[in-house]
Homo-oligomer: A and B are copies of this chain.
Amino acid sequence: MSAAEYREEPGQPLPPWKETMIVGKPLPRVDGYERVSGAAVFPSDTSLPAMLYGAVLRCPHAHARVKGIDTRAAEKMPGVRAVITGETPGAGVDWAYTTPVATVKTKLFDPHCRHEGEEVAAVAAETPYQAGDAVKEIKVEYEVLPFVVDPKKALEAQAPALYEGGNRVGKTQIYERGDVARGFAEADVVLEETYHTACELHTPIESHGCVARWDGPRLTVWEPTQGVFEVQAGIAQVLGLPLANVRVIGHYVGGAFGSRLTAGKYDIIAALLARKTGRPVKLFLTREETYLCVGNRPPDEMKLKAGVKKDGTLTALEYRALGTGGAYPADGTSSVDWLVRDLYTCLNVRTETTDVYINAGPARPFRAPGHPQCAWALEQMMDALAEAIGMDPVELRLKNVPSFSQARKNIPYTTTGLRQCLEEGAHAFGWKEARQKAAESRGSGHICRGVGMAASLWVVGGGRPPVTVVVKLFADGSANLNMGASDIGTGTKTVMAMVVAEELGIPLENIQIENADTGTTQFTTRSGGSKTVPSESPAVRAAAFSVKQQLLAMAGKDLKVSPEELEFKGGSVEVKGNPRKEIKISNLTELKERGVVLGVGIRGPNPAGKWVTPFSAQFCEVEVNMKTGEVKVVRFLGTNDSGRVMNRMTFECQVYGGITMGIGLAMTEARILDGNQTGKMVNRNWHDYKLPTALDVPADMVSLPIEMDDPWCNSAGAKGLGEPATIPTAAALANAVYNATGVRMTSTPMSPLQLCQAFASRGKGG
């Protein structure tokens, strides 16, 4: 094997850790000081000499065609340095949306505006206020077109069409195994229900946008993104530049949640304005603009029919979902059926998923794309089935725990911790006692206590290549970790530094990290899909391992023994069994001569013949005020089989964050479009669009990791956590609300108004 490189070959990853000294500990973030003190320079903090500010003119209509633009008045506004439209030389560039089922080719500034907020023109000026003022002076003649913002109406024949071919996004996708008709015939109980989830808006604290600067032919973009290399590729493709000439830097990211996986139109607009003015341009969107244009978890309608035998055997699942990605194709953001296919053992499954276009901003993946919605349906249905056959909901799930992926030709999972999540979670939560106590407490007032739970899996775990990582060890034994991955707030930098510290036995504070810069750091794919830690850790291990091998060889020369006789012991290399014969890393002759040792680590492929999947279950307790419809979330417990816990503190924080986000889906968040008169969004701010706050989140949150030995998964043993931590939350809450009230809430959000209406229509309430 190479001196400078360790590449995990198929079937030959580094051996899994047996015992760890650092990995697994609850350690605070390596960049905690910067984050807390404000010293961390987020991309939106970027301030460059001579920097201009960009602003975008956006279509105010849900559906319209631009007939003419007059920029003359805007160009004369104070401080204005450039105004661009689709007619400006160089700005008439293409913009495409491509997914496996549909491709739409459009323009950066397309005259056909298919949603409110679509980009029409842009300005660069000396101050953000001047830019904003100038945008208002651009005169646009619109032909206002009829709109449709309801997915069901969009399917109707007479609906306004967004495209010549109509509003369907490709064909309805069908998955089928077994025979659902036979399955329903065999069932003792068959239930059917229609579930809805509202559209949620991505709300990372740092808004979307970038700073763009040209240095001759090279463009540098500072952007909070989940994947600097994806943004690089996107910009290079649109502007026709070599990849090396597009440098994307995103050292910090103020939240992402799936909305920052690719280049945005703002990147291209900022680059064009910077090129036209010869000055750097900062273009960050307002909150209103991000709500309209750069991300949402679109609404879903899910019909689910399920059959079960009295003994708990699931006999059939039939699922028909109608989703929408908004005005453009947005793969995997809605109508995702994966939990129905694979969470529980069931021989007969049929799913039908349909996507339509509506006149609304394009969706982007939103922490576990499609999964919380599908869980909202499936996990409420499981609750209802359990009640119908008189079985405990946990028992019903345990009865149907799979050990292989049915939807993937029965490929076995490396580990299936679902059983442990359910059993250990129920035990730790005191499930039976809590259900019993809640039942006993009801009827004694208008505050009803309820207990609910739900489970989930995440469609793909264990990470994957490609990842390259470099570790550079200095002559004093301190080290630099160089990786392309973004730390989207989840602690990636901290965890990876711990991996280096573990492998090389050096203190965490002697490791510095360079990351998320296409110019100076190594290639990886985006931080998303719960794959960052399981993808990166093995590559980091491999890079550190390569450094270690080189240091052992150097020590062998100095100590005049074969490297095989040597071992690492905290900053020194010593002869096995003879700790007196040792040499400090900083004293190695060749290290002093070379100045540094460089180790390149290359992530190996995933195990053949096995599938890696994280599982989770959550348990919660609520108090529902039957007079006001208010729900108080009293406590939550999340169990996660995500493989090895790399850092117990960041692991816990991920779980708490996931639960918090799930509370938002369940209780408060819903985009509202005016379906009658305008098609416009009516709650485009933090007053009208309700995010859960500290008061909505229980103080009593517990994370219970299920750590199972998983030698197959990857050489770090981590399976992925970010998404499984939020998938079951909303369904668990709905089940708890049902448990408390006897009212099945099939639509999000379970707001006081919705609850009161539901109570009223079913004769319940105070």
Q: Which residues of A contact B (CB under 8 A)?
A: 1-5, 7, 31-34, 37, 39-41, 45, 47, 49, 214-218, 229, 236, 242-245, 247, 278, 465-466, 468, 470, 472, 474-480, 482, 509-512, 514, 517, 519-525, 593-596, 598, 600, 602
Determine the residue in chain B with the shortest Cβ distance to A473: B244
- Asked, given contacts A34-B215, A216-B31, whether A509 binds B593 with beta carbons under 8 Å apart, the answer is no
- Asked, given contacts A243-B476, A476-B242, whether A595 binds B510 with beta carbons under 8 Å apart, the answer is no
Residues of B within 8 A of A476 (CB): 236, 242-243
Is A520 within 8 A of B522, CB to CB? Answer: no
Is B466 within 8 A of A595, CB to CB? Answer: yes
Residue of B2, B465, B474 near A244 (CB, 8 A) is: B474
Apart from A37-B278, A465-B594, what 12 extra A-B contacts exist at CB < 8 Å?
A2-B3, A3-B5, A5-B5, A47-B47, A218-B512, A236-B476, A244-B511, A245-B478, A514-B520, A522-B596, A523-B596, A525-B595
Residues of B within 8 A of A509 (CB): 217, 242, 245
Distance in Å: Cβ of A633 to nearest Cβ of chain B: 35
How far, in whole Å, are A603 and B522 apart by their CA atoms in the complex? 22
- Asked, given contacts A5-B5, A509-B217, A598-B600, whether A474 binds B243 with beta carbons under 8 Å apart, the answer is yes
Residues of B within 8 A of A477 (CB): 242
Is B243 within 8 A of A523, CB to CB? Answer: no
Residues of B within 8 A of A245 (CB): 478, 509-510, 512
Determine the residue in chain B with the shortest Cβ distance to A593: B466
How far, in whole Å, are A242 and B501 apart by their CA atoms in the complex? 14
- Asked, given contacts A3-B2, A3-B7, A243-B476, whether A594 binds B466 with beta carbons under 8 Å apart, the answer is yes
Is B470 within 8 A of A470, CB to CB? Answer: yes
Residues of B within 8 A of A475 (CB): 243
Determine the residue in chain B with the shortest Cβ distance to A242: B478
Distance in Å: Cβ of A112 to nearest Cβ of chain B: 31
Residues of B within 8 A of A521 (CB): 520
Determine the residue in chain B with the shortest Cβ distance to A5: B4
Determine the residue in chain B with the shortest Cβ distance to A279: B39
Distance in Å: Cβ of A507 to nearest Cβ of chain B: 9
4 A-B pairs with least C-beta separation: A2-B2, A520-B520, A244-B478, A242-B478
Residues of B within 8 A of A217 (CB): 33, 509
Judged by DSSP, the binding face of A is: mixed
Is B523 within 8 A of A594, CB to CB? Answer: yes
How far, in whole Å, are A361 and B47 apart by their CA atoms in the complex? 38
Distance in Å: Cβ of A236 to nearest Cβ of chain B: 7
Distance in Å: Cβ of A593 to nearest Cβ of chain B: 6
Residues of B within 8 A of A474 (CB): 242-244
25 contacts between A and B (CB under 8 A): A2-B2, A2-B4, A4-B602, A5-B600, A31-B215, A32-B216, A33-B215, A34-B215, A34-B216, A40-B215, A218-B512, A243-B476, A244-B479, A245-B512, A465-B593, A466-B593, A466-B595, A470-B470, A470-B598, A482-B520, A512-B519, A519-B520, A523-B595, A523-B596, A525-B595
Pick the most buried of A34, A468, A475, A517: most chain B CB atoms within 10 A of its CB. Answer: A468
Residues of B within 8 A of A5 (CB): 2-5, 600
How far, in whole Å, are A278 and B523 apart by their CA atoms in the complex? 34
How far, in whole Å, are A593 and B602 apart by their CA atoms in the complex? 12
Distance in Å: Cβ of A535 to nearest Cβ of chain B: 12
How far, in whole Å, are A472 and B39 apart by their CA atoms in the complex? 31
How far, in whole Å, are A59 and B470 apart by their CA atoms in the complex? 47
Distance in Å: Cβ of A629 to nearest Cβ of chain B: 47
How far, in whole Å, are A482 and B517 apart by their CA atoms in the complex? 13
Residues of B within 8 A of A39 (CB): 214-216
How far, in whole Å, are A600 and B597 apart by their CA atoms in the complex? 11
Pick the most buried of A216, A466, A511, A517: most chain B CB atoms within 10 A of its CB. Answer: A216
How far, in whole Å, are A229 and B47 apart by their CA atoms in the complex? 27
Determine the residue in chain B with the shortest Cβ distance to A520: B520
Is A468 within 8 A of B598, CB to CB? Answer: yes
- Asked, given contacts A243-B475, A476-B236, whether A519 binds B514 with beta carbons under 8 Å apart, the answer is yes
Is B594 within 8 A of A468, CB to CB? Answer: yes
How far, in whole Å, are A216 and B35 apart by their CA atoms in the complex? 10
Residues of B within 8 A of A522 (CB): 472, 596, 598
Residues of B within 8 A of A514 (CB): 519-520
Is A512 within 8 A of B49, CB to CB? Answer: no
Residues of B within 8 A of A600 (CB): 4-5, 598, 600
Distance in Å: Cβ of A248 to nearest Cβ of chain B: 12
